Amino acid sequence: MCGIVGYIGKRKAYPILIKGLHRLEYRGYDSAGVALINDEGQLNVYKAKGKVAELEAFCAEKDTNGCIGIAHTRWATHGEPNTVNAHPHYSESERLAIIHNGIIENYAVLKAGLQQEGYTFRSDTDTEVLVQLIEYTQVNRHVDLKTAVQLALQQVIGAYAIAILDKDHPDTLIAARKGSPLVVGIGEDEYFLASDATPIVEYTDKVIYIEDEEVVVLTANSQSSILNYQLSTINGVDKTPEIKRLELSLSQLEKGGYPHFMLKEIFEQPRTLTDSMRGRVNVRQDNIALSGFIDNKERFLNAKRIIITACGTSWHAGLIAMYAIEEFAQIPVEVEYSSEFRYRKPVINQDDVVIAISQSGETADTLAAIQLAKSKGAFIFSICNVVGASIPRVSDSGCYTHVGPEIGVASTKAFTAQVTALTMLALCIGREKGTMSEDKYLAVVRELGRIPDKISRVLEQDARIADFAKTFTYAQNFIYLGRGYNYPVAMEGALKLKEISYIHAEGYPAAEMKHGPIALISQEMPVVVVAPHCGTYEKVVSNIQEIKARKGRVIAVVTEGDELVSKIADYIIEVPETEECLTPLLTVIPLQLLAYHIAVVKGCDVDQPRNLAKSVTVE
Ligand code: G6P
């Protein structure tokens, strides 16, 4: 969702803030803004609709001096994306400026109360209500700003990560969070503040993760070396901050010569999967060691049921895991959209294991689903990519995917790593329970070790995929079909295409085509069929015949050496032979590339598609 960045220290804040906003732009990008207190004590706020570049252009002739500032890139929740609704927002007196990520759910009640007190509002946002409430509290309760922030936040229902500047205190930056992430970077003579570590990493590796309902006061003086931070709860209880070390490097954030982060991340997959398996898959000793499983073996072995909860691409990874866990461990699995699960009064038992999957580790619905399951006594195991994020912190155990930062909004390398982690888990449980044969276990473990090289072979077909992708930019609709382990791959392929090319696409189980989608098939309808050599291969071939009989255009993903489909499909992409449970790791690659190239030819903004955000921290 929205991106927050703040700076206080001896350097000029503006360039640091702008650079930080660029790094955070993947979180939201409908408008951006910055607030700075200059050396004369003036509080300047500048905002622009559109991307960060628009803000920079707008600020070119403005006074951008000052060693303290906050900046924001917005993904609209309340109020349309325009300059007025862009952050920062002033308080009534224009003494305070605030930026905010999250949603204040009771903003209407709070706003009505403030309007009765004579406060006027310039924007439609919930954020402006919060800054007005803080100023109102400070003026009427005669307290300092920190106390006013604490008191105001006690009245707030909803989620927030906020940062506030006070014109009268140009040496102080105040921030707080609940439900939306916030991290403080500790430099030599300076502090940084951000929604995630990406804007901070080039300055320091010392960070403090702010926890829910905590307020941090950062004090630094540009003239002297006074540097101080204080942490407390919104109820006024002092806390001792824990300083952690960042494991992120700057080179991981750069495009490395690729035109887009998404393409870089697709091509990184042979390496990222090697990283995900490092120290876990031991091909020489033919075993898998997953510490999150080893330390909690009994919980898994006694589980009567596994519930998987996730959103978006992570949910697709969860569906693939359902096939693997049921096949190998023979434990019933349910896969739930977090947003539905959290509200539908689900039956959760103490002997259930809940697996939460999240690249960002911050998705609000998944976090809430975990909290619900935890309150019922279930054991929570999370699969996350961002180290130290909220979801792994509230889980009982878990497994990091270790693929480095994923910047492209459309998830690619995180997905294959999630599938890999979940497959490792399924194998661990299956072997320990004795529900899978040793031969099968060994075959899959050995094959996991070969997957990175096999992905490299699929990537070699990139130029050909780019070439035939041009043929399909006319299409308004696509259907993606697959069966078994490759049914979720079909859904993931369709999601990739709609996310970045804005072409409508549906993923369907191939056999279900006859119950609806077949009516749509015509010469204009491209159908992507995922048809590797698996148990249901012949049946999928029949489905392809049915499509061809209706003049549909078929792009098929097949196993190398395929003879049947190659004769009837219009385009084929080959993937190497592998174990059935691992086919998604290969078959999804061409679908990622197809979506990417179609979007590029259409001139779409691949890394930052309209209306989407990388990390959905509001429900
Ligand atoms: C957003 C992103 C998707 C992602 C989903 C779940 O919609 O754009 O790429 O799959 O959130 O995010 P998570 O971080 O929980 O995996």
Based on the residue annotation, tell me whether 428 is a catalytic residue of this protein: no
Q: Which amino acid, one-letter code, is at 466?
A: A
The closest-lying atom of ligand 1 relative to the alpha carbon of residue 499 is: 8
State pTM to two decimals. 0.81
Rounded CA-CA distance 373/393 in Å is: 15
Looking up tokens 């942490």 gives: 231
366 contact partners, CB below 8 Å, separation of at least 6: 309, 310, 311, 314, 338, 356, 357, 358, 391
Strands (E), 413-458: none
Instruction: Tell me the angle at which helices 438-459 and 583-601 cross, rounded to the nearest 10 degrees.
Output: 20
CB-CB neighbours of 371 under 10 Å: 12
Nearest-CA residue for ligand 1 atom 8 is 614
User: What pLDDT, on a 0 to 100 scale, did the predictor assign at position 494?
Assistant: 98
Q: What is the DSSP letter of 3?
A: E
CA of 149 to the centre of ligand 1 (A): 31
CB 75 within 8 A of CB 1: yes
List strands edge to edge, sheet with 526-531: 504-509, 477-482, 526-531, 553-559, 571-575
Q: What is the DSSP letter of 30?
A: S
Rounded CA-CA distance 416/329 in Å is: 21
Length of the chain: 619
CA of 602 to the centre of ligand 1 (A): 23
Which of 314, 315, 385, 409 to mutate to test ligand 1, by most ligand atoms within 8 A of the CB atom? Answer: 314
CA of 315 to the centre of ligand 1 (A): 9
User: What pLDDT, on a 0 to 100 scale, did the predictor assign at position 517?
Assistant: 80
Looking up tokens 């010469």 gives: 523
User: What pLDDT, on a 0 to 100 scale, did the predictor assign at position 550?
Assistant: 86
Which of 358, 363, 395, 607 to mutate to test ligand 1, by most ligand atoms within 8 A of the CB atom? Answer: 363
User: What pLDDT, on a 0 to 100 scale, did the predictor assign at position 512?
Assistant: 87
Which of 355, 386, 614, 617 to mutate to test ligand 1, by most ligand atoms within 8 A of the CB atom? Answer: 614
CB-based burial label for 582 (10 Å; 0-12, 13-18, 19+): buried
Nearest-CA residue for ligand 1 atom 15 is 358
Note the Cα 404 to chain centre separation in Å: 12
* 10-residue mean pLDDT series, the chain (619 residues): 91 96 81 95 95 94 96 83 91 96 91 95 94 96 96 94 96 94 92 93 93 94 74 95 84 81 96 92 85 93 96 97 98 96 92 96 94 96 91 94 91 98 97 96 95 97 94 90 96 97 94 83 90 89 88 94 92 96 98 97 90 76
Nearest-CA residue for ligand 1 atom 4 is 312
The closest-lying atom of ligand 1 relative to the alpha carbon of residue 391 is: 15
CA of 85 to the centre of ligand 1 (A): 25
For residue 159, give the H/E element and its range: strand 158-166
603 contact partners, CB below 8 Å, separation of at least 6: none
Question: Which residues form the pocket of ligand 1, taking CB atoms under 6 Å from any ligand atom?
Answer: 311-314, 358-360, 363, 366, 409, 411, 612, 614-616
CB-CB neighbours of 483 under 10 Å: 23
User: What pLDDT, on a 0 to 100 scale, did the predictor assign at position 452?
Assistant: 96
Q: Are strands 379-384 and 333-337 parallel, antiparallel or unpaired?
A: unpaired
SS (H, E, C) 532-562: CCCCCHHHHHHHHHHHHHCCCEEEEEEECCC
Rounded CA-CA distance 175/100 in Å is: 10
What residues pair up with 530 in beta bridges, in sequence order? 557
The closest-lying atom of ligand 1 relative to the alpha carbon of residue 414 is: 16
Torsion sign over Cα 47, 50, 51, 54: negative
CA of 472 to the centre of ligand 1 (A): 26
Based on the residue annotation, tell me whether 602 is a catalytic residue of this protein: no
How many H helices and E strands in the chain? 20, 27
| Residue 66 CA: distances (Å) to CA of 40, 63, 84, 190, 551 | 9, 9, 23, 13, 65
What pLDDT digit, counting tens, does each position of 591-608 carry? 999 999 999 999 999 988
Find the catalytic residue in 167, 178, 264, 614. 614
CB-based burial label for 522 (10 Å; 0-12, 13-18, 19+): exposed
Q: Using alpha carbons only, how large is the chain's radius of gyration in Å?
A: 26
126 contact partners, CB below 8 Å, separation of at least 6: 77, 78, 100, 103, 104, 107, 158
CA of 9 to the centre of ligand 1 (A): 34
